[in-house]
Amino acid sequence: MLSSTGYGATSATEPLSKLNFQRRDLQPDDVQIDILFCGVCHSDLHTARNEWGNTVYPVVPGHEIIGRVTAVGSQVTHFKAGDLVGVGCLVDSCQQCGSCAEGLEQYCENGFVGTYNGEEMHSGGMTYGGYSTNIVVRDKFVLRIPERLDPAGAAPLLCAGITTYSPLKQWHVSPGKKVGIVGLGGLGHMGLKLAHAMGAYVVLFTTSQGKREDAKRLGADEVVVSRNTSEMREHRDSFDFILNTVAAPHALDPFMELLKRDGTMVLVGAPASPHPSPQVFNLIMKRRRLAGSLIGGIAETQEMLDFCGERGIVADIETIRIQDINDAYERMLKSDVKYRFVIDMTSLKQEA
Ligand code: NAP
Ligand code: ZN
């Protein structure tokens, strides 16, 4: 077994603190990784505080992992010690079902294994995530990070990047399309950069007046403060596609009304309690659609990393020490993140 040190929660109400635990013995198809950076996703906070009601304690969050390979199992041919690699939200799946066969491991019909708070297929214990010194992951779930990208800025691509890239591709976002991104947080700012890079006309919706200039700099053609009804009205019936990344319950109708005939709004934000139901007539009258999307499969995640590698796209980040993770969570709740916290894991190695 490999000893690991991380930061995790022991209950919904305790702050995250240092924990020691074991990683499984290296299996023939495993890759062992020394973690350099880990992004901080709002899902980490939802899980640490048991807001989705499914947390098994202790939980070590973190699924935007960047590191260097330190060892590989006897059957691993695609990775070697020293490679710069990433691990996202998935670390295993059945590899047998129709969804896995299509490369859609996130929809595995037998249940995928999450990078944290998931059931380990080898030991039957729980998986522990990337707020830690090292991790052991099945080779099929390890991603290659383009060396030209800043490794800290690339970390958020592993969740925020793929979660926004996948629906943008699925709904054919491209030049000539009018696309809305709702919420300028971790997911939202990646959605904005990616939709812009795909050539769409992008409108960013925010509740934070102070983010207007940043949104323009990040690639928005227009910025709308969503609490301003007259600004919203100007965009009625005009969008092909809207990607909603908001982490809190809110009224969906003001956004549904902005879709043109056959337009779709996709929800990726996953608040702990439900949104108020949208008006059925808002769907019926223009054959509008409301849909959801979960992260992305491994092949598509590699495609997204290569897309970002070719264009030099990384997240705008604020690097933090692991000891500051609890303050970072409080700032995330106040929408005060520009635009993703990334933990520099040397802070943990020095403490460990
Ligand atoms: P985040 O960085 O905290 O960003 C969320 C943004 O939503 C905020 O910055 C804010 O943007 C906006 N917002 C927050 N509270 C709001 C409110 N009450 N009303 C309106 N807007 C509000 O979070 P994140 O890491 O991007 O994650 C967003 C959500 O996606 C979370 O629920 C997370 O669990 C979920 N998620 C889903 C998937 C998936 O596969 N579907 C994957 C990863 C994460 P403004 O200041 O611009 O308004
Ligand atoms: Zn995430």
Q: Which domains does the chain have, with CATH numbers?
A: 2-157+316-351 (3.90.180.10), 160-292 (3.40.50.720)
Determine the length of the chain: 352
Answer yes or no: is pLDDT of 124 > 90: no
Answer yes or no: is pLDDT of 55 > 80: yes
Answer yes or no: is pLDDT of 276 > 80: yes
Atom of ligand 1 minimally distant from the CA of 41? 25
Ligand 1 pocket residue status of 192, Cβ below 6 Å: no
pLDDT tens per residue across span 133-158: 999 999 999 999 999 999 999 999 99
Q: What is the pLDDT of residue 18?
A: 98
- Please give the Cα distance from 214 to 287 (Å, whole number): 34
Residue 233 CB-density burial (10 A; 0-12 exposed, 13-18 middle, 19+ buried): exposed
Q: Which of the listed residues 268, 294, 316 should we mutate to test ligand 1's pocket, taking the one with most ligand atoms within 8 A of CB?
A: 268
Q: What sign does the dihedral 266-194-129-14 (CA atoms) show?
A: negative
Ligand 1 pocket residue status of 42, Cβ below 6 Å: yes
Ligand 2 center from residue 157 Cα (angstroms): 10
Q: What is the pLDDT of residue 122?
A: 83
- Please give the Cα distance from 88 to 94 (Å, whole number): 17
Ligand 1 pocket residue status of 106, Cβ below 6 Å: no
- Please give the Cα distance from 248 to 185 (Å, whole number): 12
Local structure of 7: helix, strand or coil = strand
Q: What is the pLDDT of residue 201?
A: 98
Q: Could you tell me what percent of the chain has a pLDDT over 70?
A: 100
Ligand 2 center from residue 176 Cα (angstroms): 30
Question: What single DSSP character describes residue 274?
Answer: P
**Cβ neighbours around 308 below 10 Å, total:** 25
Q: What is the pLDDT of residue 290?
A: 98
Ligand 1 pocket residue status of 208, Cβ below 6 Å: yes
Ligand 1 pocket residue status of 182, Cβ below 6 Å: no
Q: Which of the listed residues 41, 166, 189 should we mutate to test ligand 1's pocket, taking the one with most ligand atoms within 8 A of CB?
A: 41
Which residue in 98, 89, 144 sits closest to 268, CA to CA?
Answer: 89
In 219-290, alpha helices (H) = 229-233, 253-256, 280-284
Give the predicted TM-score (pTM) of the model: 0.98
Q: What is the pLDDT of residue 343?
A: 98
- Please give the Cα distance from 327 to 100 (Å, whole number): 38
Residue nearest to atom 30 of ligand 1 (CA): 269
Which residue in 88, 42, 96, 90 sits closest to 67, CA to CA?
Answer: 88
Answer yes or no: is pLDDT of 352 > 80: no
pLDDT tens per residue across span 190-247: 999 999 999 999 999 999 999 999 999 999 999 999 999 999 999 999 999 999 999 9
Ligand 1 center from residue 330 Cα (angstroms): 14
Average pLDDT in the 79-97 region?
Answer: 98
- Please give the Cα distance from 181 to 191 (Å, whole number): 7
Structure tokens, 291: 């849909």
Q: 160-170 vs 298-311: helix axis angle to the nearest 10?
A: 100
Residue nearest to atom 17 of ligand 1 (CA): 248
Atom of ligand 1 minimally distant from the CA of 205? 47
Ligand 1 center from residue 270 Cα (angstroms): 8
Q: What is the pLDDT of residue 123?
A: 81
Local structure of 62: helix, strand or coil = coil
